[in-house]
Amino acid sequence: VRDPALEGVLRDHAVDTVVHLAAIVTPGPDSSRELEYSIDVLGTENV
């Protein structure tokens, strides 16, 4: 969900609906606020 190339893939395959379920509910010991924000917020904006 964070890959900038996602837009092209969605366009090339005429995808008109995306259900974004990637989220960090319980962060692991190696997680960071930046990673969580990147997946949860920026990933949502990207799709």
Integer angstrom CA distances of residue 31 from 23, 28, 38: 12, 5, 11
Of 42, 41, 1, which is closest to residue 20 (Cα–Cα)? 1
Q: Write the pLDDT tens digit of every residue in 1-47.
A: 788 898 999 999 999 998 888 777 788 888 888 888 888 888 888 88
Tokens 């606020």 — which residue?
A: 33
pTM of the model: 0.59
Q: List the structure tokens of 31.
A: 């997680």
Q: What is the pLDDT of residue 40?
A: 85
